[in-house]
Structure 1
Amino acid sequence: MTRMDATLTARPAPAASPARDVRAALLPATIVLGVIVLLAERLYTQTGLPLWLDETWTAVIAGQPTWPAFWRQAWLDCNPPLYYAVMKLWIPLAGTSNAALRAPSFAFLIAAALLPLAWRIGGLSRQARWTWAALLFFWWPGLFVTADARAYGLLLLVSTAQTIAYPRMMRAPSIAAALCWTALAALAILTHYYAATIGAVQGVLYLWVWRGRAVRTWPALAPLVPVAAVMAVHAPRLADYARPDVAWYPPVNIFRLLDFIAFPAGLQPFQMGVAAALGLALLWWAIRYRPDVARDEDAALDPALRWTAIAGVAGVALAIALAVVKPTLADRYLTPAAPAVLLGIVLCVRQVRGTHAAYAALATVYWLGATSPPALMQSLSERADYGYERGSDFLAAAHTDQLVFAWDHPATKIMATDSLDQIGGFFLRRGGEPVAVTPVVLAPGDRPSARLLAAATGQRPAILWLYDRAHMSVGDADDFALTRTPGWRCRHSRHGYTGVVACARSAQF
């Protein structure tokens, strides 16, 4: 033992002091306050918010009366079936109200944030685990993508569990540790196919680091066998969605690239001015005034945690690279990488002297970045505008017996007629209106008003037309003459590129 080692070993534990107690309380106080504020924000922004189109698809697929009908509708969709199966079990218990459909997503977000606290993680101190949990809860895309009835709350939960299981396997390879990781990776892929990107990167790094020892854990690949079977069965339908005349994803440009980079890290530049200033001030305080304790109880960074963070960043890079080759990526598809990327940010901050203040500063930056009820409400409202719940409510007063429904989008051409029937009439039927639905698939060159009016042959007909100008099959060929047709009363809601036209005969109101 060197003289320096002896001196460090003999150094007495620091005495308690008011300043040290204040520093220790910074992080829990920040988290508690932030959780309270964001829960209130969540309640505020969800009140009265209508479902948007994709949420309606969730209700239709998961609300099928039988399991064979469910599996057929799930296969017709472009997403894997796990989330829909969970919702299929939930709907008989809770119903199909907007609040009931969205409740599981928020529960999954809370569960994901609690995982780092409930599941012991080697190499991370209690303060670091609390900070990671806070970042998962304050991660602003989480508040956005888990605010609706879609798979991303479940995806965040399963991906967080996968991120916790991975360093255990990287630290000490064994069949049991590898089986835990592959089982969670399989669940993530069955929730969203893009989870395969980070799973693939993690697997490659595992083989590269451990080589022969990793190969000897091959029996742990068993959970991936049913995943391969599901993907093989689903492949023909996915090929339909990938057709050039159907695919609707724009190519990757510099702006989308920045979105892809910012999303998993939870960066929100237009809201981060005040948060960044406060965070920098607190970090400067932490660096300038060194506390009288070691900077972290786990001063040496565990290599397994470092590989986990690297895999998260590499998974994002792989997903972006695939999107450059074939545009099929939206920023929310990067949710599986978010837990690992956020963990990497925590690992960087833990190297700063004065981790109590540094962690509190980091949590504060994310909390303030996510706390903007008007901005969140505006974003959620804009997304809800691409739906027709309000249009259906308008038509409910007409007590229609026939609904002519058109979703003007390239994907409509591959939709089953019964799927369009169920999606178009969902809100009216949920409200007790036994309406018959006539789906109309618009094609290039059509004049939508003429086609929709011609299809309205019922005694009390109504028309519901959802369009997105960025993807309209008819472009600007129609000037919405339907809304000016004598004898018809219409509600035309336009929001940027999207809009909904809801019309019924004036005598029906």
Structure 2
Amino acid sequence: MRRETTPCPESEQGGRQDGWHLALLAAALIVGLGGRLLYSLNTTLWFDETFTGVIASQRSLPALIDWCLHELTGPAFYMPMWLWEKLAGNSDLALRLPNLLLSLATPLAVLRWGHRDARLRRWWAVFLLLWPPILPFAGEARSYPEIFALGVAQAALFLRLLERPTTGRASAWVIVSVLAILCHYWNAMPTLVQGLSFLALHRMRALKTWPALIFLLPLPVWARLHLPFVLGLTIGGSSGISGLPLAALLRDMPMYVLGTTANGVLVFAIVAASMAMAIRRDGWPRLRRPSPETALGLCGIGSIAMILVIACLRPGFSPRYMMGSMPSFLFGLALWARHSAPRDAKLPFLAAAILLASEVGVMGSILRHPESDARHSFELERPSAWIGERPVEHLVMFWDNPVGESSDALRLAEVGGFFLRRAGHRVDVSVARAPAGTDPNRAVLALTDPRRKSAILWFSNDDLPPGRTPRIETLDPRYECRAFSRGMIAVTACRWRR
């Protein structure tokens, strides 16, 4: 006699949830990986990436170290790039390829090894793939894809450390944390929050892992040499960004964290509503020792809060400086989705769908209008190529900006001549200075040499008064000039007429 079976509602619900989750994951992989590949495709190196090209192309290790001591980004990014350049060269593709591959591999590694709970690691991978701010940085020759990958590795190692504190696990976490800080000092915030949490949760067991601190030594040694330069740019008399106003913080926090204002508010509202419903249903959670997963999510929130508080007090903040904190924050978002989905999958899937739509919108905008990303306009590669269509031995470079005015002339000369030298021109570069109240056209023309038919590369990324606009052709008809300007980005190249 055949036994009748009764379907299990929980099994059916879990099966439906897995089906929807796999469909969401597939969409996230297509959009997230595709966006990383396409965002910067066929674009020239923008201005900041030119510094990477210059530093990676240094001919000696002492020259590399000297450059690293005079740059905000640290040696954990530039030294591997310097080694890579000796193998692959300094073309646009060669300079961007390591970070592009890293940005593609990071969510895939999480999908495979991110956590022993398959559903949790799938949610984490989904939110890593669909975090909109990663797209502009994924394919560029700057440190942020490496910082993001190190943040993911730091979060995963922190979980293992909380599960079972050992000196080996602590050492691995310290090494990755130091590398992240040696990419950018703002990564000290997630490291500090996680380290204090480790001590608070494990106390004596944490103290017994003290030999791992030996791997901290490179950090104070390098910071002793490098940090004064960084602080000189961001504290006291800096020409950089002012401290973040509190009103701007409250208004723009969704944009800072999720890269989208209206959709970011929606995601925060969905999470808050879901948690409120859980409290109404189950009551307030009892105070108890948090799980490693909960501790990591809270650390992500805590490190972002710390960064934003500092941003209100000190100049020099940019939302991209939260890059190292975002993997643990997105893990917390994944943890919320993992726990909420079995009861009611609609809200987690809605939050993911909103981020998916945001990322599709970013991609559609940048593919239709590449100039919508101002960085694609702030570049010297096309102006240099236009100048280089004719023989050039001497270039006068003028960066009309307070940072340019205070920057070292020899280093600016390397940046200004990078593309011409890469193209094979043996060019000398002179850097013009024109303080407020002076005519920059006269200052630029004073450095030209008619015997060498000097070229001119003049650019600014600030709104400037009319008196500081280029009038080279008017003052010296021997020059022909071409503007490569969009919006507030003003780039003008001039070359000798035939």
Does residue 500 (structure 1) correspond to residue 491 (structure 2)? The answer is yes
Determine which of 122, 136, 140 is the counterpart of 1:144: 136
How far residue 366 of structure 1 moved from its aligned partner, in angstroms, is 2.4
What's the counterpart of residue 376 of structure 1?
366
Farther off after superposition, 39-48 or 55-64? 39-48
How far residue 65 of structure 1 moved from its aligned partner, in angstroms, is 1.4
Q: How does 1:46-195 map to 2 (within 5 A)?
A: 46-119=40-113, 121=115, 125-195=117-187
Does residue 347 (structure 1) correspond to residue 339 (structure 2)? The answer is no
Deviations 1:282-313 (A, max 9, x none): x99xx9xxxxxxxxxxxx99621111111111
What's the counterpart of residue 461 of structure 1?
454
Alpha-carbon distance in 2 for matches of 1:498, 1:420: 18
Alpha-carbon distance in 2 for matches of 1:261, 1:152: 20
Alpha-carbon distance in 1 for matches of 2:234, 2:203: 36
SS at match of 1:398: coil
Alpha-carbon distance in 2 for matches of 1:183, 1:306: 23
How far residue 159 of structure 1 moved from its aligned partner, in angstroms, is 0.7
Q: How does 1:410-449 map to 2 (within 5 A)?
A: 410-449=402-441
Determine which of 241, 244, 256 is the counterpart of 2:233: 241
What's the counterpart of residue 325 of structure 1?
313
Determine which of 474, 479, 493 is the counterpart of 1:488: 479
Gaps of 5+ in 1: 1-10, 288-299
Contact 1:140-1:366 at 8 Å conserved across structures: yes
How far residue 390 of structure 1 moved from its aligned partner, in angstroms, is 1.9
Q: 1:438 to 1:42 in 2, by over 3 A?
A: same
Superposed CA RMSD: 3.0
Farther off after superposition, 387-396 or 370-379? 370-379
Alpha-carbon distance in 1 for matches of 2:7, 2:217: 53
What's the counterpart of residue 299 of structure 2?
311
How far residue 71 of structure 1 moved from its aligned partner, in angstroms, is 1.0
Contact 1:250-1:327 at 8 Å conserved across structures: yes
SS at match of 1:191: coil
Identity %: 26
Contact 2:244-2:315 at 8 Å conserved across structures: yes
How far residue 51 of structure 1 moved from its aligned partner, in angstroms, is 1.2
How far residue 238 of structure 1 moved from its aligned partner, in angstroms, is 2.2
TM-score, normalising length: structure 1: 0.84
How far residue 58 of structure 1 moved from its aligned partner, in angstroms, is 0.5
Q: 1:243 to 1:200 in 2, by over 3 A?
A: closer
Contact 1:56-1:423 at 8 Å conserved across structures: yes
Contact 2:106-2:149 at 8 Å conserved across structures: yes
Alpha-carbon distance in 2 for matches of 1:489, 1:184: 52
Alpha-carbon distance in 1 for matches of 2:344, 2:50: 44
Contact 2:255-2:261 at 8 Å conserved across structures: no
Q: 1:310 to 1:16 in 2, by over 3 A?
A: closer
Contact 1:246-1:410 at 8 Å conserved across structures: no
Count residues with an aligned counterpart: 473
SS at match of 2:340: coil
Deviations 1:79-124 (A, max 9, x none): 21111111112112322222221122222212221232343535xx
What's the counterpart of residue 407 of structure 1?
399
Determine which of 382, 387, 390 is the counterpart of 2:379: 387
Alpha-carbon distance in 2 for matches of 1:223, 1:476: 54
The residue type equivalent to 1:70 in the other structure is L
Contact 2:234-2:314 at 8 Å conserved across structures: no
Farther off after superposition, 329-338 or 493-502? 493-502
Q: 1:132 to 1:52 in 2, by over 3 A?
A: same
SS at match of 1:480: coil
The residue type equivalent to 1:493 in the other structure is F
Does residue 226 (structure 1) correspond to residue 218 (structure 2)? The answer is yes
Q: 1:59 to 1:260 in 2, by over 3 A?
A: farther
Q: 1:169 to 1:272 in 2, by over 3 A?
A: closer
Q: How does 1:474-485 map to 2 (within 5 A)?
A: 477-485=467-475
Q: How does 1:173-322 map to 2 (within 5 A)?
A: 173-242=165-234, 244-254=236-246, 256-257=248-249, 261-262=253-254, 265-269=257-261, 303-322=291-310
Alpha-carbon distance in 2 for matches of 1:222, 1:28: 43
TM-score, normalising length: structure 2: 0.86
Alpha-carbon distance in 2 for matches of 1:139, 1:482: 45
Alpha-carbon distance in 2 for matches of 1:489, 1:195: 47
Alpha-carbon distance in 1 for matches of 2:428, 2:404: 19
What's the counterpart of residue 14 of structure 1?
8
How far residue 13 of structure 1 moved from its aligned partner, in angstroms, is 8.8
Alpha-carbon distance in 2 for matches of 1:113, 1:301: 29
Alpha-carbon distance in 1 for matches of 2:238, 2:138: 27
SS at match of 1:87: helix
SS at match of 2:239: coil
Deviations 1:102-149 (A, max 9, x none): 122222212221232343535xx2112011012112211111122311
Gaps of 5+ in 2: 278-287
Contact 2:400-2:459 at 8 Å conserved across structures: yes
The residue type equivalent to 1:73 in the other structure is W
Q: 1:351 to 1:118 in 2, by over 3 A?
A: closer
How far residue 22 of structure 1 moved from its aligned partner, in angstroms, is 4.6
Q: 1:186 to 1:127 in 2, by over 3 A?
A: same
Alpha-carbon distance in 1 for matches of 2:108, 2:33: 15
Contact 1:247-1:410 at 8 Å conserved across structures: yes
How far residue 204 of structure 1 moved from its aligned partner, in angstroms, is 1.6
Alpha-carbon distance in 1 for matches of 2:165, 2:38: 47
Does residue 36 (structure 1) correspond to residue 36 (structure 2)? The answer is no
